[in-house]
């Protein structure tokens, strides 16, 4: 049986979501059409509004609706202390710990040569600019403890060579291979407090 064109289009559109194959997509499309048109309309409006209105903060790359996000605009926070994380979910996890009063730089991923993801793809050229122009004085590397996360941390550390930027790496309490967003707030607070300064070998 062939679907009506609009139904087929809706099913196809749902398959853009992670982990959603044709069968789940069909189930979702049917469910909205049969049982929840109101929910479907709300979803459609929220999607359009978010796709149109959500941008990336020009300073930290986190999601923002203005040029700068609220954290980067907050003058009570130490804007020269920068915690580098892989995703907006990591920012949320660290904010929940209540331990951090600096700002963030959100990579939206990590270095992964196999997938063709290089430094520019995760904004490291922009970060280097911020390091070079003196707007960053201290960096806390809070990338995940996976191989890619470690490689990314190492790359950023190398970037600060020859500058006065001090660099530390959170480690304590974050399990090896761990994704930051799944670490609880108390552990994360400990990890931030117990961060280890990374010395430049001279």
Query: Residues interacting with Zn ion, by CB under 5 A?
Result: 57, 59-60, 69, 72
In whole angstroms, how close is the CB of 173 to Zn ion at the nearest point? Answer: 26
Our CB check for Zn ion shows the closer of 36 and 67 to be: 67
In whole angstroms, how close is the CB of 164 to Zn ion at the nearest point? Answer: 23
Residues 25, 15 contacting (CB under 8 angstroms): yes
* Other beta carbons less than 10 A from residue 128's beta carbon: 16
Residue 62, phi then psi, degrees to nearest 5: -70, 165
Our CB check for Zn ion shows the closer of 25 and 57 to be: 57
Q: d(Cα 111, Cα 86) in Å, to the nearest integer?
A: 10
Our CB check for Zn ion shows the closer of 130 and 145 to be: 130
In whole angstroms, how close is the CB of 156 to Zn ion at the nearest point? Answer: 17
Per DSSP, the three-state class of 199 is coil
Residues 133, 173 contacting (CB under 8 angstroms): no
In whole angstroms, how close is the CB of 93 to Zn ion at the nearest point? Answer: 16
Question: Of 154, 94, 92, nearest to 119 (Cα)?
Answer: 154
In whole angstroms, how close is the CB of 134 to Zn ion at the nearest point? Answer: 18
Question: Of 97, 61, 104, nearest to 83 (Cα)?
Answer: 104
Our CB check for Zn ion shows the closer of 103 and 190 to be: 103
Our CB check for Zn ion shows the closer of 79 and 145 to be: 79
In whole angstroms, how close is the CB of 58 to Zn ion at the nearest point? Answer: 7
Our CB check for Zn ion shows the closer of 65 and 184 to be: 65
Per DSSP, the three-state class of 147 is helix
Write the CB contacts of 88 (distance below 8 Å, at least 6 apart in sequence): 62, 63, 106, 108
């Amino acid at each position: 049986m062939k679907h009506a064109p609009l139904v087929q289009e809706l099913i196809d559109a749902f398959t853009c979501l992670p982990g959603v194959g044709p069968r789940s997509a069909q189930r979702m499309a049917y469910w909205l059409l049969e049982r929840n048109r109101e929910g479907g309309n709300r979803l459609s409006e929220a999607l359009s509004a978010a796709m149109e209105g959500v941008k990336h903060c020009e300073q930290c790359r986190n999601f923002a609706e203005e040029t700068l996000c609220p954290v980067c605009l907050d003058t009570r926070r130490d804007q020269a202390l920068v915690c580098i994380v892989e995703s907006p979910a990591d920012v949320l996890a660290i904010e929940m710990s209540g331990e951090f009063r600096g700002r963030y730089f959100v990579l939206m991923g990590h270095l992964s040569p196999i997938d063709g993801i290089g430094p520019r793809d995760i904004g490291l050229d922009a970060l280097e600019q911020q390091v070079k122009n003196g707007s960053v004085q201290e960096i806390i590397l809070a990338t995940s403890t996976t191989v890619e996360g470690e490689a990314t941390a190492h790359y950023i550390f190398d970037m600060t060579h020859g500058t006065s930027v001090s660099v530390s790496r959170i480690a304590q309490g974050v399990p090896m291979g761990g994704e930051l967003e799944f670490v609880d707030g108390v552990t994360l607070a400990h990890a931030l407090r117990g961060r280890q300064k990374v010395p430049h070998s001279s």
